[in-house]
Structure formats: C-alpha cells, structure tokens
Amino acid sequence: MVKAFVFDAYGTLFDVHSVKEECNKWFPEKGDAISTTWREKQLNYFFLRQLMERYEPFDQITRESLRYACKANGAQLTEKSEQALMEAYLNLGLFEEVEEVLSQLNDKRLVVFSNGSPGMIDPLVGRSDISGHIDEVLSADGVKQYKPVPGAYYYAQQELGLEKEDILFMSSNPWDITGASSYGFHTAWINRKGLQREEFDIQPEVEYDNLKGLLEWK
Amino acid sequence: MVKAFVFDAYGTLFDVHSVKEECNKWFPEKGDAISTTWREKQLNYFFLRQLMERYEPFDQITRESLRYACKANGAQLTEKSEQALMEAYLNLGLFEEVEEVLSQLNDKRLVVFSNGSPGMIDPLVGRSDISGHIDEVLSADGVKQYKPVPGAYYYAQQELGLEKEDILFMSSNPWDITGASSYGFHTAWINRKGLQREEFDIQPEVEYDNLKGLLEWK
C-alpha cells in the first residue's frame, strides 16, 4: 500500500514547451527551436554540473541554457526578454489531464519533487490549478544535488519520513524514472511522448501514456 | 612547460562516425542515423550510469546504446551484425591530420586517456597508425568512474605521476574539455565541428579547429 504519490514537475505535470509562445512573442517563428534547445541544454548543464561536482541552482542553469539556446538560434537576448522568458518558466501550463486526475486522488498524500530550485518550483506550483491538491513541494536544492543521483531521492524520502516502498514516484523523463527505479522507489513512467524503452537492466515498474493510468492505484 | 600531452580518443583522435560504413553494409541507407543515435545514447548512458552510481564498463554501454540505436531506426540487429558493429568500434578511422601532428610532437610524452574500457581502447590505439607515437594508454575504467567526474582526471594524473599544471589535455567533446578545465589541467578544445561555446563560468584555455593548433605548444 503506497503512502505517498510523488510527482516530478517539469515535463511530467508541467509542459516545459509552453514557453514557446513567449519565445515566439520576442523572436517570431523561433519559439519551437529555442524552446527545444533550451530544454536540451538545461538537462545537459545540470547533468554536467552534477558530474563535475560544481552544483549551481536550477534557476542559474535555466538562465545559462536560455542564453545558449538564443545564441544557437540567432536570437539576440536582452535584459528585458531574458527576464520575460525566465518569468514564463514560473507560469508553465499543466498537461491537460493533470488537474482532473489529481482531484480524484484527494485521499492520497500528493507531493511534487523537482530539481527546480525553490524560487522556481514554489511559484510554479503555487500559481497553478493543482495548488490545492498538493500537500508538499520538495526541491533537490535542499541537498544541493540533482536527480538522478541517489542522494537526491534519499533526501526526498527523508523529508517524507517514509520507507522506499511506501513511495510511488512518477516522471516522464527517462533519466528520472530510471534513477528513481534504481534508488528503489515504486515507479510509474508517464511516457507522454511514446518513447522507446531504454536498454538498461533497470526499468520502471509500470508505464502509462499519461497520469490517468494512476487511477488504477487508487 | 607542459610535460605530457594527453588526448581524449573518441571524437578527438578517432572519428566515431567511421562506423557509418559498417552500419550501411548491414542496414543500407541507415548508417548515418544509426551512427548518430548510437553516439548520442552512448554519451547519455554513461552519464546516467555515473550519476546513478551504477558503473558498467564502456563496452557494455556501447553495446546497449547500439541496440537502442538500431531499434530506434527500425534495424533488426542479429548476433552477427551486433558483433560486426562492435568490432567496427575497434577499427575507427583517425581524423586526417592526427598522424602527421603526433609525428611532429615526438619529443613529448604523448598519452591517450579515454572512457573506453581497455578491451576497446587498447586494440583501437594498437592497430592504428599512431600506435608508435603513443607512450601510454589510460582508461578511466582503472578507477571505475567516467570523465567528466574529477576522480577520473585525478586517476590519470596519478598514473602519470605529474602535477596538474604539467598536463595539457585535449578533447573535442565539450563535456570532457569542460570537466578537465574544471579539474585544473591545461586544456585545448579541439573544436572540430565549430560548436558554440558553452554558457559556463568554466572555459577551456584555448580552442583549435583541429590538432594542428598544438604545434604552437612545441
């Protein structure tokens, strides 16, 4: 019997590519390309910093990857547009089924656990339509380590005061769901993009197209 | 005065995409796509394993990423084709200027330091035209950690018995040259693809289009 449902934020509950619109406002027709490079570099940069043991919070990484993405796409970032695009990251849209599914899991302990620094993840969740359903928001910044290192999942577990097997963790990100499975949580891969399974000896327990699959666990 | 010239192997001395030809033999017209995905996944998989603290040697990672790449491109890998493609990785081509440049650095201590496991990197260097120029081949497998973690560069330094500042490290891979710079080696980024600089507070010391730039250090 699972005691807490723990959700990754970026790409799982919130669509990181909803910044496309704001990108398009500043850089017409480049929104798609900028948003894609932005996310790729964001992942690349926090992986790298974790490996090099040079932790910096996620907001700095998000800013540096935005700068890279704009240069890569020939877009001249100004102080004003940078601020607007960073602000857009605090107002990402929810995937369409999220609010409804979470409202049906009212009797569960619902937690967001993200690599996002508190200054990013707290306003994002707080301003969103699921704010009332979420019991706790945890940031890996609390331990200055990024998922998928074991220390990050350990931190979340300690904060929740639960055993590994009491926790069901959900993520759309292959590296995150693999990391959480490797650590020992129950895991459900929310495979929104219909990605191919990784060729690993570590696999998520179940796989769903979107969060609706979770209603089976009720 | 630098005492050792230390070269990354894959992408720096050897062209990983020279497997394209062998891929095309088995899977006509899919060589490009398979080779590209293969390399991307190879990087992704050893990053991930390092982060999850689940080290496996580079040959296993190379095999798993090959399997992923073939599935991703609708290519049916058999025992025979898998073996042939893994074998192709032991016979990668050198970039065109490599042999000539290394022959002009005869008075230097020349070292290869790679993430490749000894079973991959030793035959690769040993069968190549630069075999006679290379004084030592080091594998990060010796410490069961992958570049760009500091422990991997530290291992190489210890094996060489030198101070950090005695070592000039060369790599084409942004994550590798950033990691080595962060660790404290002298670094020359061999930016073969003309990539954009990373948005980091850590940067390589110099940047060259190919190895010819090194002749300045003579």
B200 touches chain A (CB under 8 A): yes
| Interchain CB distance below 8 Å, B52 and A199 | no
Q: Cβ of A51 and B178 within 8 Å?
A: no
Are the beta carbons of A45 and A62 closer than 8 angstroms?
A: no
Q: Which residues of A are catalytic?
A: 8
φ, ψ for residue B148 (rounded to 5)? -100, 30
Across the interface, of A44, A64, A148, the residue whose CB is closest to B51 is A148
Please, where are the H alpha helices in B73-146?
79-88, 98-103, 118-126
Surface of B (162-191) touching A: CB under 8 A: 175, 178-179, 182-183
Chain A residue with minimal CA distance to B184? A52
Collapsing DSSP to helix, strand or coil, A171 comes out as strand
pLDDT band at A218 (very low <50, low <70, confident <90, very high): low
CA angle (A38, A44, A48) in 5-degree steps: 140
B11 touches chain A (CB under 8 A): no
Give Cα B103 to chain centroid, integer Å. 20
Q: Degrees (nearest 5) of the Cα angle B17, B41, B210?
A: 40
Q: For an interface test with A, which of B37, B41, B44, B52 has the most A Cβ atoms less than 10 Å from its Cβ? A: B52
Q: Is residue A149 within 8 angstroms of chain B, CB to CB?
A: yes
C-beta atoms of A52 and B198 within 8 A: no
Domains and CATH numbers, chain B: 4-14+93-217 (3.40.50.1000), 16-88 (1.10.150.240)
Chain A residues lying within 8 Å of B50, measured CB to CB:
51
Compute CA distances B159 → A135, B3, B140, whole Å: 52, 14, 11
Residue keyed to tokens 């990087």 = B43
Q: Is B1 on the interface with A (CB under 8 A)?
A: no
Please give the Cα distance from B26 to B202 (Å, whole number). 42
Collapsing DSSP to helix, strand or coil, B6 comes out as strand
d(CA B163, CA B143): 19
Spatial separation of the C-alpha atoms in residues A45 and B121, rounded to whole Å = 28
Q: Is the peptide bond before B148 cis (omega within 30 degrees of 0)?
A: yes
Give CA–CA dist A116/A152, Å, rounded: 12
Report residue A167 as tokens: 């926790």
Contact criterion met (CB < 8 Å) for A179 and B52: yes
Gap from B142 CA to chain A (nearest CA, Å)? 18
**Interchain contact, B182 vs A65, CB within 8 Å:** no
Give the contacts of A160 (CB within 8 A, at least 6 positions apart). Answer: A4, A6, A109, A111, A136, A138, A166, A167
Contact A52 B149 (CB under 8 A): yes
H or E segment and range at residue A51: helix A31-52
For residue B43, report the phi and psi dihedrals to the nearest 5 degrees: -60, -50
pLDDT of residue B106: 87
CA distance A8 to chain B (A): 17
**A207: closest CA among A198, A18, A106, A39?**
A198
- The conformation of residue B68, written as its DSSP 8-state character, comes to H
Q: Would you call the peptide bond into A148 cis, given omega within 30 degrees of 0 as the criterion?
A: yes
Range list of H helices, chain B: 20-26, 31-51, 58-72, 79-88, 98-103, 118-126, 150-160, 174-183
Rounded Cα distance, A164 and A180, in Å: 10
Using CA coordinates, name the residue in chain A closest to B38: A199
Task: Give per-residue pLDDT as tens, B75-92.
Answer: 999 999 999 999 999 999
Single-letter amino acid, residue B136: E
Residue of chain A whose alpha carbon sits nearest to that of B175: A48
A40 at the B interface (CB within 8 A)?
no
**Chain A contact for B33 (CB, 8 A cutoff):** no
Q: What is the mean pLDDT of chain A?
A: 97
Task: Tell whether A205 lies on the interface with B, counting CB pairs under 8 A.
Answer: no
Q: Does B73 touch chain A (CB under 8 A)?
A: no
Q: Rg of chain A over CA atoms, in angstroms?
A: 17
pLDDT of A126-170, one tens digit each?
999 999 999 999 999 999 999 999 999 999 999 999 999 999 999
B53 touches chain A (CB under 8 A): yes
Q: What value does the mean pLDDT take over residues A167-177?
A: 98
Contacts of A168 (CB under 8 A, 6+ apart): A2, A4, A5, A6, A185, A186, A187, A188, A217
Could you tell me the pLDDT band of residue A217, with boundaries at 50, 70 and 90?
A: confident
Provide, rounded to the nearest whole percent, the portion of chain A with pLDDT above 70: 100
The answer to whether A130 and A94 are in contact (CB under 8 A) is yes
Candidates A48, A183, A200; nearest CB to B175: A48
In the residue annotation, B8 being an active-site residue is answered as: yes
pLDDT tens-place values along chain B, 218 residues long = 899 999 999 999 999 999 999 999 999 999 999 999 999 999 999 999 999 999 999 999 999 999 999 999 999 999 999 999 999 999 999 999 999 999 999 889 999 999 999 999 999 999 999 999 999 999 999 999 999 999 999 999 999 999 999 999 999 999 999 999 999 999 999 999 999 999 999 999 999 999 999 998 76
